[in-house]
Structure 1
Amino acid sequence: MLSRSLAERAARLECGRAMLFIAAALLGSVAPGGARACAEVTGYERLSDWIGWARLDTSVRAGLASSYDRSGGNADYCWYEWPPGLQYGPGICTVRTLTGPGVIHRFWMPHFTANHHFVVRMYFDGEVTPRIDTTSSALLGGTFGYFRAPFVDTFAGGQYSMEPIPFAQSVRIETDNQVLPDQTLVRHYYQYGFSTYPAGTPISTYSGGLSPTAQSKRAAAAAILNAAGQHPDAGVGTNVVTGPQSIAAGQSLVLADLAGPGVVRRVCTSMPAATDDDLTALRLIIQYDGTDVAVDVAVGEFFGAGRGRAVYRGLPIGTAGPDGYYSYWPMPFRRSIRIELRNGGDSDVPIAAARVEWQPIPWSHDLCLLRAEARMTVRGTGDEFHTLLTASGRGHYVGNLLYIEQDSGGLTMLEGDDLVLVDGELLSGTGAEDAYNGGYFYNWTKIQYDEPEGPSPRSATRPLCGALFVHRDGAFGHGRADQYRWYIADRIGFSSDIDVKIECSYGQYGSIWRSVAFWYQQPPIAADVNDDGVVDALDGSLFLEAILGMSVDPAAVKRCDMNGDGRADGEDIALFVASAIP
């Protein structure tokens, strides 16, 4: 009996070994997240590839070159890579030297600053002659080369260009610091957002023109921006439609309960009769796999609706779509997703209609789950920051809606800088309205009159950024600013952790800071034995070593205990294979 038992065990082990080698072969053929084969990178495809918004790619690293005050103060201007320190006099300055391959996705200045015609020179790949040699007023004013709308715009006291500027090896950005004839320093505020890619990524350096491939990709991205409010993807899914009804106090209305794998293409709701109280009481709840609540946010704050805010058409979210409020964020799900509206108030909330569109898709390990989190800070003594997001794991941050209000001080709360700490690297901004592509308190100071919305606008909205409501009572009375910014082409990937904050120390005590942050996060993968975010043949080898007793790494052995019985053995094989193969 004993020899038979040993023989059966040996047979099971050999069978399991065969399964593992088969799995390893299969895993070796699966393109892992962050290593998908791609054509030449231009920068436009990160915007036009809708399902790509949800795909993990931690090999692409986000960066920000800005004029923030390196001393920790509030003089967020005229700071450069070289010369060091705050520059008070005229002279040539190096803004930043970037090592490629990479793409500059965003160039921003306050409109007031750009109108001083700051020099913009870019030297590529070690060349001694700049390929870009122009001024801020030309580049940001839409008169330089092919840099045009909808990628270049003037917006509420700010000007920005989101025309991608690719570089294969390096780019050195140079400018001239300025003083006026009376020796007054011209405050040079600037931000350059960029992404760097792994060595060998096919990127062609900016040449002054666009290749046929780049022209085609630019046209696709421009069409999406110009059609903001419509779905950015041409695909068609299955609609789950809810008709007019009222959601009773304390009750929920399930909009969709779906089995995967699949992707939700849109979530829409029409609520023309809803009051501000209704939009606060009614919460959008999105749950994955029966237990993972990824979104639990008031409808008004999630969509940017109510409280006198502008009706707008953002690219991923807005309030003026064909079906009312809309979210076009891709929401992949592996097993299931449940979307509901829950009334946490004391009275019924009417809705005119709701719509969830979805389609089945194959699951892959580089697909991430959409998450959104609401936070609030009431500034008290010692409070210096409002935290929008703290997350660990792997994923990418894609933006936020931020709502700020104070009883006095006007709009001075917008002096605070935005800060993103991603995998230990700090990206420092220059001011709240700057982060949202505006400037000078959204054109209520240093007023520029040659703007689409004119001086002191109550609102200004664009596909990727907007001021939904800006107002102050006198220079230092009641102040309020509601805004949004989406990072899609310039999304900020993280491999271990991310912390997104904004300084609230310039707001009055009692000022109220509310936000909804959006990000994508890779779900845990049991078969990712070495915890690198991908599943490949190496994980198969490590697993085989563990179940054969050859591993000396206790942590790896523990991760190979798929069934939680305290040991890694042949009984874990089927679970490993099921987790490894999408």
Structure 2
Amino acid sequence: MNFGLGSLPLLSDAETRSISAENPTGEKGGGAKAVPDENNPAFLLGKGWKVRPCIDLEPQSTTVLADIAGPGIIQHIWITVDTKAYRDTVLRMYWDEEEKPSVEVPLGDFFCNGHGMRYNVVSIPIAVNPSGGFNCYFPMPFRKRALITIENQRWEKITGFFYQITYALTDLPEKIAYFHAQWRRSMTKREHPEHIIVDGIVGQGHYVGTFIAWTQFSSGWWGEGEVKFYIDGDTEYPTICGTGTEDYFGGAWCFGQTFNAPFSGYPLWHKRFGEAPKHAMYRWHIYDPIRFKQNLKVTIQALGWWPNGRFQPLTDDIASVAYWYQVEPHAPFPQLPSAEERWPR
């Protein structure tokens, strides 16, 4: 089982498998079996060539991308599709026969492409490469079963959905946690300008990342708010309190420019005449996971400046993805907003 570069020289009895449209089950020797018809580009070449590289997502339907018997660990997910799928399709992951998903996130936001927009992201666990190649390297262990689905909530078919899910069939250590990710969106209020990134996490685990897609509705600087972690029973006051939005995401002094780094980044600053400014940021707690034993809540404030030098409470549109590992079972997620409620403003 490979958890990092340090284990690359070690031999293992794990079996590598990969699921794609060319091998939907990932079975050994199961790839490239599709037979081309006369309308297929590979018709003259025959079976064994590039016959079924992608699938279509039917409207208002759920498609199973992977259904794997464990034990094992998903090591890499690659997906590419038209941008209209970014907010209108929902990626879900279920571990070990659970009824409720441990991952439930609009497709684009899971890969740090918020606002239904395409832009590059260069980081360790998530990379979006030109043009629109989604990559996830978060290890996702499972003991009995891994089920990954994509739901198309649009009114039309989405064609050309390409995907590859690579995993290892292998025994797992006893003390290993399951991967989770949750999407939330809110319009902050001046009376209490706070967005909840995640709340209601119950059990033992560790928080490993944050992605935020921020739409700015006020002029001037928008990122004075702090990120706060309420750990294991914290109520009024958090155990971990940051010093500002750009500080938490690894920058300083209002960013000033976009950047991509291995563990933090500000890959999007979109400002166009007639449109509300849009921002995107990520922060990975790879070497500094936020560990909790009982429960966890994470929030971010929306603050700017008044002309008199006082903090201005902001009414902004904030969407976020929280990424964490924990023991199962997990607490139920809030109801995911409808496709219309997820559309960019």
Normalising by structure 1, what TM-score?
Answer: 0.45
Partner of 1:51: 3
Q: Secondary structure at the match of 2:223?
A: helix
Is 2:158 aligned against 1:359?
no
Q: Which amino acid aligns with 1:292?
A: K
Cα 1:259–1:323 change in 2 (3 A) is: farther
> Hey, what's the Cα distance between the residues in 1 that align with 2:70 and 2:245?
40
Is 2:19 aligned against 1:240?
yes
Cα 1:308–1:251 change in 2 (3 A) is: closer
Partner of 1:296: 104
Maintained 8 Å contact 2:190/2:315: no
Q: Which amino acid aligns with 2:75?
A: R
Partner of 1:519: 324
1:466 to 253, 265, 274: 265
Maintained 8 Å contact 2:91/2:148: yes
TM-superposed deviation, 1:515: 0.1
Partner of 1:252: 62
Maintained 8 Å contact 1:366/1:522: no
Q: Which amino acid aligns with 2:241?
A: S
> Hey, what's the Cα distance between the residues in 1 that align with 2:171 and 2:286?
23
Normalising by structure 2, what TM-score?
Answer: 0.74
Select between 513-522 and 352-361 the one with higher mean Cα deviation.
Answer: 352-361
Of structures 1 and 2, the one scoring higher in RCO (CA 8 A, sep 6+) is: 2
2:244 to 413, 431, 437: 431
Q: Deviations over 1:58-96 (max 9, x none)?
A: xxxxxxxxxxxxxxxxxxxxxxxxxxxxxxxxxxxxxxx
> Hey, what's the Cα distance between the residues in 2 that align with 1:292 and 1:50?
28
1:378 to 187, 199, 207: 187
Partner of 1:503: 301
Maintained 8 Å contact 1:237/1:265: no
Maintained 8 Å contact 1:318/1:327: yes
Q: Which amino acid aligns with 1:282?
A: T
Is 2:87 aligned against 1:280?
yes
Q: Deviations over 1:177-222 (max 9, x none)?
A: xxxxxxxxxxxxxxxxxxxxxxxxxxxxxxxxxxxxxxxxxxx58x
Cα 1:502–1:509 change in 2 (3 A) is: closer
Structure 1 unaligned runs (5+)? 1-48, 53-219, 225-234, 444-456, 526-582
Cα 1:322–1:262 change in 2 (3 A) is: farther
Cα 1:367–1:508 change in 2 (3 A) is: same
Q: How many residues align?
A: 280
Cα 1:514–1:524 change in 2 (3 A) is: closer
> Hey, what's the Cα distance between the residues in 2 that align with 1:248 and 1:396?
36
TM-superposed deviation, 1:465: 1.0
TM-superposed deviation, 1:292: 3.4
Q: Which amino acid aligns with 2:249?
A: Y
TM-superposed deviation, 1:315: 0.7
Maintained 8 Å contact 2:119/2:132: no
Q: Deviations over 1:266-314 (max 9, x none)?
A: 121122xx13x32111111111223131111111111122655531222
TM-superposed deviation, 1:364: 3.3
Structure 2 unaligned runs (5+)? 9-13, 22-52, 305-311, 331-345
Is 2:219 aligned against 1:440?
no
> Hey, what's the Cα distance between the residues in 2 that align with 1:334 and 1:478?
45
Cα 1:236–1:485 change in 2 (3 A) is: farther
Pairwise mapping of residues 119-130 of structure 1 onto structure 2 (< 5 A)? none
Higher share in helix: 1
Maintained 8 Å contact 1:264/1:358: yes
> Hey, what's the Cα distance between the residues in 2 that align with 1:414 and 1:315?
24
Select the structure of larger CA radius of gyration.
1
> Hey, what's the Cα distance between the residues in 2 that align with 1:381 and 1:420?
22
Q: Deviations over 1:405-457 (max 9, x none)?
A: 122223x22110111122246111110011011111112xxxxxxxxxxxxx3
Pairwise mapping of residues 36-115 of structure 1 onto structure 2 (< 5 A)? 51=3
Q: Secondary structure at the match of 1:284?
A: strand
> Hey, what's the Cα distance between the residues in 1 that align with 2:326 and 2:143?
13
TM-superposed deviation, 1:461: 0.7
Considering only aligned residues, what root-mean-square deviation do their CA atoms show, in Å?
A: 2.9
Maintained 8 Å contact 2:77/2:164: yes
> Hey, what's the Cα distance between the residues in 2 that align with 1:508 and 1:345?
35
Higher share in strand: 2
2:154 to 345, 349, 356: 345
Partner of 1:490: 288
Cα 1:323–1:240 change in 2 (3 A) is: farther
Cα 1:339–1:321 change in 2 (3 A) is: farther
> Hey, what's the Cα distance between the residues in 1 that align with 2:227 and 2:313?
18
TM-superposed deviation, 1:472: 5.0
Maintained 8 Å contact 1:249/1:343: yes
1:399 to 209, 213, 216: 209
Cα 1:330–1:353 change in 2 (3 A) is: same
Maintained 8 Å contact 2:218/2:314: no
Partner of 1:329: 138
